[in-house]
Structure 1
Amino acid sequence: MTFWTYMLHCADRSFYVGHTDSLETRILQHDHGTLPGYTQTRLPVKLVWSQAFGTRMEALEAERQIKGWSRAKKLALIRNDWTLISALARSNMEK
């Protein structure tokens, strides 16, 4: 079974990060506002990034890590800019 970590861009320009075992179904739930919580009042949402994982734990760990990232780092992830992600991580370590 495949598990997914995903990022949505919300109408208020914020990002939402989650994980699921059915990406297509989960995105539809977010789109229709049927999931209570963060995205329900920030519609519409757009899927901007996702990655598959082999276990739910891996997907959950990625979700937790990305949720702690700055907006700049999330934008770099969306662009798949690993050089910038590394630079941002180093600059955060020096503070």
Structure 2
Amino acid sequence: MKYYVYIIYSLSTDTYYKGQTSCLDSRLSRHNSGYEKSTQHGAPWKLVWSTTKATRGEALYLEKKLKNLSRQKTLEFIKKYS
């Protein structure tokens, strides 16, 4: 099974959200439908970056590293790895 690590962006709140999931399409739909409390106020969300990992542990490790990035470092990361 593949796991996805992703960064989404909300134009309405000008914020980035980082997460991980096993089904990226379903997860993005949940973010945009208001089912996720942490992102319900930013819809619509746009996928700006994603990658796959072989295990959930690898995905969680990368997600944690991404969540610790400042906004500026997040922008640099997206630019470098897009």
Q: CA deviation at 1:12?
A: 0.5
Q: Which has the larger radius of gyration?
A: 1
- Give me the TM-score of the superposition, normalised by structure 1: 0.78
Q: CA deviation at 1:26?
A: 0.5
Amino acid of the structure 1 residue aligned with 2:34: G
- Give me the TM-score of the superposition, normalised by structure 2: 0.90
User: Partner of 1:7 in structure 2?
Assistant: 7
Question: What CA RMSD, in Å, does the superposition of the two structures yield over aligned residues?
Answer: 1.1
User: Partner of 1:23 in structure 2?
Assistant: 24
Amino acid of the structure 1 residue aligned with 2:44: P
Q: Which has the higher strand share?
A: 2
Q: CA deviation at 1:8?
A: 0.8
Gaps of 5+ in 1: 82-95
Q: CA deviation at 1:80?
A: 2.0
Q: Aligned residues: percent identity? A: 36
Higher relative contact order (CA 8 A, sep 6+): 2
Partner secondary structure for residue 69 of structure 1: coil
Matches within 5 A, 1:9-88: 9-10=9-10, 11-35=12-36, 37-80=37-80
* Moved segments of 4+, more than 4 Å: none
Q: CA deviation at 1:21?
A: 0.3
Q: CA deviation at 1:15?
A: 0.8
Distance 2:22 2:34 in 1: 19
Q: Which has the higher helix share?
A: 1
Q: CA deviation at 1:18?
A: 0.5
